[in-house]
Structure 1
Amino acid sequence: MAGLCWAHKKNLRKPGITGRGFGYSRTGPLLSIYADTSFFVSLYLPDVHSAEAHRRVRGRPSLWLTPLHRAEWAHAVYQHVFHGKISAQEARRVYREFEGDRKARLWVEIAVPDVVFERCCDLARRHVPRLGVRTLDTLHVACALELKAERFWTFDERQARLAEAERLKTS
């Protein structure tokens, strides 16, 4: 039971007026949002955060997708298999759906900026002693900062505290 194939997916795939594939009908500047991988997982695999994830994407926001997301996505999906939450067949189907959406440009793909690793080290020095965040947590927040995201969407409380400490909006 993949998540994004639910009714909301049809709304996300409506072509917009911009001609960019999945355009936006709103006026003004696009809001840049960096969502961590757990957010994407909640879109495709039902969990306690899926309803909130779907609510947030209802307005078709512009979400960054980096190679870091793709690598972590593969691990997250197949960890669900390892833990017996889904079958290998279901994992392959969910993975194909995500890849189809990626190729259809539902998400805004962008490379990880080179300076992101230095930014990650800086975040570690300044925040890990107090927040206890992990490497991937700081790497995602560093990516969001380097990409000049306005919002950071995560369901991880420590990662949200780190993003907020760096003045990113988390809701």
Structure 2
Amino acid sequence: MTGRKPRGTVTRYYDTGILLKLYTEEEGSDRVRAWVVRRREAVVFTSLHRTECVSALRLKAFRGECRLEQSNAALADLDTDAAAGVLKHTALEWDEVWERVEVLARTHAAATGCRTLDSLHVASALQLGAREMVTRDGRQAALARKSGLKVVNPLL
């Protein structure tokens, strides 16, 4: 690693799987919403989150887990929350993120089984200077811990 300092002062970085529970009705959604509301802070929202949310919501419609109208409504709610500052759009330095992804893969992928997308989120959290990773994904949590992040699962 190049020894660059983190760009920001983000406390928590939320995995997209957790963010989706804020905008869809699925198991654990109520608990995640209550947990996030108690934090009383804007939720960091990157272009990675946005792209993954769009894809996941469309996939839910494709699989028949929701109607297309529900997918559209969830995306509209994301836009509303972004405009209101509930979701705080945060830019990433992508070259730095990809550099971190490679380091994480070389260092920890064999032990954690993390895939690229898991590593992208952990690298993004690190690049933004986050101290906590909010996730329920076991592999991602293992990588986050090995990377020095505190892992929080609001469903536990």
What TM bracket, shorter-length normalisation? 0.7 to 0.9
Q: Does the C-alpha gap of structure 1 residues 99 and 169 become closer, same or farther in structure 2, counting only changes over 3 Å?
A: same
Q: Which has the larger radius of gyration?
A: 1
Give 3-state SS (helix, strand or coil) of 1:119's partner.
Answer: helix
More helix by share: 2
Q: Relative contact order, CA 8 A, sep 6+: which one is greater? A: 2
Structure 1 Cα separation of the partners of residues 42 and 131 of structure 2: 11
User: Is 2:155 the counterpart of 1:152?
Assistant: no
Residues 100-139 of structure 1 mapped to structure 2, 5 A cutoff: 100-113=80-93, 114-139=95-120
Pick from 42, 64, 71: which aligns with 2:21?
Answer: 42
Structure 2 Cα separation of the partners of residues 37 and 44 of structure 1: 11
Residues 11-22 of structure 1 mapped to structure 2, 5 A cutoff: none
Give 3-state SS (helix, strand or coil) of 1:112's partner.
Answer: coil
Structure 2 Cα separation of the partners of residues 70 and 103 of structure 1: 13
Match in the other structure for 1:56: 35
Q: Does the C-alpha gap of structure 1 residues 79 and 98 become closer, same or farther in structure 2, counting only changes over 3 Å?
A: same
Structure 2 Cα separation of the partners of residues 126 and 49 of structure 1: 33
* Identity of matched residues, %: 35
Match in the other structure for 1:170: 151
**Equivalent residues, number:** 142
Contact 2:10 2:129 in 1 (8 A): no
Match in the other structure for 1:20: none
Structure 2 Cα separation of the partners of residues 166 and 81 of structure 1: 35
Length-normalised TM-score, structure 1: 0.78
Q: Give the 4+ runs in structure 1 shifted more than 6 A.
A: none
Structure 1 Cα separation of the partners of residues 73 and 108 of structure 2: 38
Give 3-state SS (helix, strand or coil) of 2:30's partner.
Answer: helix
Contact 1:36 1:153 in 2 (8 A): yes
Pick from 53, 67, 90: which aligns with 2:70?
Answer: 90
Kindly report the root-mean-square deviation, in angstroms, between the aligned alpha carbons of the 2 structures. 1.4
Unaligned runs of 5+ in 1: 1-29
Unaligned runs of 5+ in 2: 1-8
Match in the other structure for 2:124: 143
Match in the other structure for 1:32: 11
